[in-house]
Structure 1
C-alpha cells in the first residue's frame, strides 16, 4: 500500500474519477428533468403566454422549428430548476473532503437556501421585471405606429434573457454570507469595494438584458439592492464571529490565569 493511500489522501486520478462520477450524476438528473419538462411544457406554455394575451397581441411562428424550440426551452428551464439543488449538493460533496469541519458545516447549512433564493429570483423577475419591460417595449412600438408581429421564439428569448440571469444573481447574498463565514470577505471590505462592485453589477445588468434602457434599469436596481442586502447580511455574520472570537479569547485568558 502506498504512503499516499496510508495518509488517506486522494491522488489526482482519484479526484478526476470522483469529478467525472459526480458530473455523470448531474447529467443524469438534468436529462431526467428535461424529460419531465417535456411532459409539462404545454401547461407551462399556456401559463407563460398569459402576459402577452393580456397585452392583446398574438404570437407567430416564423419557422418550422419555433414550436419545438419553445418546448425545448421550457423543458430546459424546468430541468435547470430541478437540478440546481442537486448540482449545488454535488459540488459541496466534491469539495467537502478538503474543507475544515467549520467550513463543511457552513456549506451544508446554506445548500437548501440556494433553491429558495433561486425561486425568489424567478418570481421577482417574471412577475415584476418582465411585465414592466414587456409593457415598455410594446408601448414604444405602438407609439411609433408600427405593426406588431411577434414571434414565439423572440418572445421566449426576451423572457428567459431577463428571468434566468436575474434568478441566478439572486444567489449573491448567500454567496457573500458563505464567504464571510469562511472569513474571506467581511462588511468592511465590501463597503470599500462598493464603487467597483456597483460598476460590475451595472455592467452585468447591461450585458444580460435586451438592448433597451428600461430593461437595464429594471435589472440594475435589484442588483444594487441585493449587494447592499449582502453587505447587511455579511455584517450580521461578522458581528457573530467577533463575539465568538472575544468569548474564546476571554475563556483562554481565564484558563491561562487560572
Structure 2
C-alpha cells in the first residue's frame, strides 16, 4: 500500500499507525519462520541447550569446579547431577512446551530482523548522518542481545539452578519440578539477560531525548552496584571469585551506559551553544 502523506510531505498519524502495524506483522512472520526452524531442531535444543544445565557435566559446573579445586574455594559445583527430576503433569504438556519454546527460540533468531524493522520505522525522525549508522546499530545491538542470552543461559541459569535445587527446608521434601516451572526459569533468565544487556542502547536513546544524564547515573552508581552485588551473592556460591565473575559484566554495562550518557550530554551542550 502506498504511503499517504500530508501536503508538507510528512506522513500523517494514521499513516504512522499503518507503518507500525506492518512492522508488527513482518516481525511476527519472522518469529514464526524462526520458530519453524527451531521446531525442526527441537531435539537438539532441548537435550543440548535447555536441559543441559541439569547435568553435573555442564560446562559452567566444570569451570567452577576446576576453579574451586585450583584456589581451594567452595566446591558446591563439583557435582554429578542436580538433585531434582523434571516431570510433565498434563497430557499436552510436552507438545505445548515444544511449540512455545520454538516460538521463544524464533524470537531470538529473528531479533536482528526485528531490529532492522524498528530502525526503518524510526529512521525518518533521524538526521542523515545518524541514518548512516544503521548497520552498526543492528550489529552492535544484536551482539549485545546474543551476549546477554549466552550470559544468562551459561552463567546465571546454572548458578540459579544449583542454588534452588540444593536449597532445603526439610529432608522430607523431594524436588520433582514441573516442566513449565523449569522452562520458565531457563527462558525467562535468558531473555531477561538479553534485554538487560541492551542497557547501553536504552541509555543512548534516553540520553538523546534528555530523560537521563551522566550525572544522574553517577549519583546513583552506588545503589546500582549494591543491587548488582546482591544479585551476584544470591546466585553464586559464598566465595569472592564466583561473585566477581557475575558482577563484572553487569558493572561494565553500567559504566558503558555512563560513558554513552556523558557523550550525549556533551553533544547536546554543543548544539545548545551553537
Fold shared by both chains (TM-score > 0.5): yes
Q: Is the 8 A contact 1:106 1:181 kept in 2?
A: no
SS in 2 for 1:63: coil
SS in 2 for 1:77: helix
Aligned to 1:52: 54
Q: TM-score, normalised by structure 2?
A: 0.70
Residues 1:186 and 1:110: Cα distance change in structure 2 (over 3 Å): farther
Unaligned regions of 5+ residues in structure 2, if any?
57-80, 238-242
Q: Write out per-residue CA displacement over residues 92-147 of structure 1, whole angstroms, 9 at most, x where no aligned residue.
A: 11121122224434565322112101111111111111111111111113874532
Aligned to 2:194: 167
Query: Between Structure 1 and Structure 2, how many residues are aligned?
Result: 233
Q: Which moved more, 1:113-122 or 1:102-111?
A: 102-111
SS in 1 for 2:89: coil
2:171 pairs with 1:129: no
Measured in 1, the distance between the counterparts of 2:118 and 2:267 equals: 26
Aligned to 2:40: 39
Q: Which moved more, 1:177-186 or 1:74-83?
A: 177-186
Aligned to 1:209: none
Q: What's the Cα RMSD here? A: 3.6
Measured in 2, the distance between the counterparts of 1:230 and 1:19 equals: 28
Measured in 1, the distance between the counterparts of 2:43 and 2:10 equals: 50
Superposed displacement of residue 184, structure 1: 5.9
2:91 pairs with 1:64: yes
Residues 1:214 and 1:189: Cα distance change in structure 2 (over 3 Å): closer
Measured in 2, the distance between the counterparts of 1:16 and 1:136 equals: 46
Aligned to 2:234: 214
Spell out the pairing of 1:78-93 with structure 2 (5 A cutoff).
Answer: 78-93=105-120
2:27 pairs with 1:26: yes
Q: 1:120 aligns with which of 147, 150, 174?
A: 147
Measured in 1, the distance between the counterparts of 2:251 and 2:96 equals: 34
**Higher normalized helix content (fraction of residues):** 1
2:128 pairs with 1:101: yes
Measured in 1, the distance between the counterparts of 2:134 and 2:205 equals: 7
Structure whose CA Rg is larger: 1
SS in 2 for 1:146: coil
Superposed displacement of residue 160, structure 1: 1.7
Q: TM-score, normalised by structure 1?
A: 0.74
Measured in 2, the distance between the counterparts of 1:10 and 1:238 equals: 28
Unaligned regions of 5+ residues in structure 1, if any?
207-212, 253-258
Measured in 2, the distance between the counterparts of 1:17 and 1:174 equals: 26
2:153 pairs with 1:151: no
